[in-house]
Structure 1
Amino acid sequence: MLARFDPWREMDHMRRGIERLFDESPFRREFPFLDKEAATMPLDIYEEGNNIVVKASIPGLKPEDIKVEVRGDVLRIYGEAKKEEEKKERNYHLREHRYTRFERSVTLPSEVLTDQAEAVFENGVLTLTLPKSETTPAKAIPIKTPAKV
């Protein structure tokens, strides 16, 4: 019996092969951000008075699992969801909790005073209050042309 050529079936077969290649690759373990099931970290960034406020949803973690850094105008939130010790007597029927590293970096609208910053973690939401640093306003620089001899 002859089967009709179906280009969509062939493309689906190729897509599955590529996914399998990435699933089995050691490259994926070195770069966890390639994990299609990696959790995203939604952010809200807004200005309130002289502060930049950042709200990050990071449910299921403890404050000691989260690190925050600011370098110049770049905010970096990162950490690791630690895996609980596996008990041999448990016979899991379903195990969906993820234990992985996470990281998110964003450019802030201005530089901030990190020594006056505050971080509060409540109900899975990290709220950062970052006072803006005083920046000098932009100043125009006149352009000169060399005098002709």
Structure 2
Amino acid sequence: MMIRYWQPFKELETLRRQMDQVFDELSSQAGDPSTNSWNPAVELIDAGDNLIFRALLPGISAQDIDVHVTRDAISLSGERKPLHNGNNVNSLHSEFRYGKFQRVLNLPFPVQNDKVQADYRDGILTLTLPKVEAVRNRVVKINLGELPSSGESKALDTSSKVA
């Protein structure tokens, strides 16, 4: 028999994220279509000393994207313009979403916003966000030295070296 531990806070956090997505979708559909008609898909990855942020922005030129990174959040905005701007073009069916967009994503860790690296290739915006020194995972080697085999207690040498 396998024992599973119930983690209510993890489940509540998942539920909160799902509810946020539902309300974000409802607000974007009910809002003024000229101000916010769609939201690009984004992902955030913890890669050790960095956070990796990616946004799917196909069909948008780099000049139409505006990115602001603070210590605690990323603000992404821009506009996807229709490819057919002529007067004699009649769209018969389209599931593409056009118009302005804006996303603000709160970061789980503070980042060094003056050292952000950006790459925009094939419609994918990638930001590499270095974490501040205080929240980086550090590997610390503890030198135990030679411990006596008898019952004597000896103070441990905890001089640490950052790897």
1:45 maps to 2:44 = yes
Q: What is the deviation of 1:78?
A: 0.9
Match of 2:32 among 22, 29, 48: 29
Change over 3 Å in CA distance of 1:28–1:53 after alignment to 2: closer
SS of match in other structure, 2:133:
coil
> How many residues in Structure 1 have an aligned counterpart in Structure 2?
107
Cα deviation per residue 1:77-126 (whole Å; 9 max; x = unaligned)? 11112345732333443455433111111111222112211111112211
Change over 3 Å in CA distance of 1:49–1:95 after alignment to 2: closer
Q: What stretches of structure 1 of length at least 5 have no aligned partner?
A: 1-26, 138-149
Change over 3 Å in CA distance of 1:30–1:60 after alignment to 2: closer
SS of match in other structure, 1:29:
coil
Cα deviation per residue 1:3-58 (whole Å; 9 max; x = unaligned)? xxxxxxxxxxxxxxxxxxxxxxxx9437744xxxx333222211213111011111
Aligned to 1:134: 133
Query: Normalising by the residue count of structure 2, what TM-score does the alignment of the two structures yield?
Result: 0.55
Query: Normalising by the residue count of structure 1, what TM-score does the alignment of the two structures yield?
Result: 0.59
Q: CA RMSD in A?
A: 2.7
Change over 3 Å in CA distance of 1:135–1:62 after alignment to 2: same
Query: How far apart in 2 are the matches of 1:29 and 1:63?
Result: 25
Task: Within 5 Å, give how 1:1-149 maps onto structure 2.
Answer: 28-29=31-32, 32-33=35-36, 38-83=37-82, 86-135=85-134
Q: What stretches of structure 2 of length at least 5 have no aligned partner?
A: 1-29, 137-163
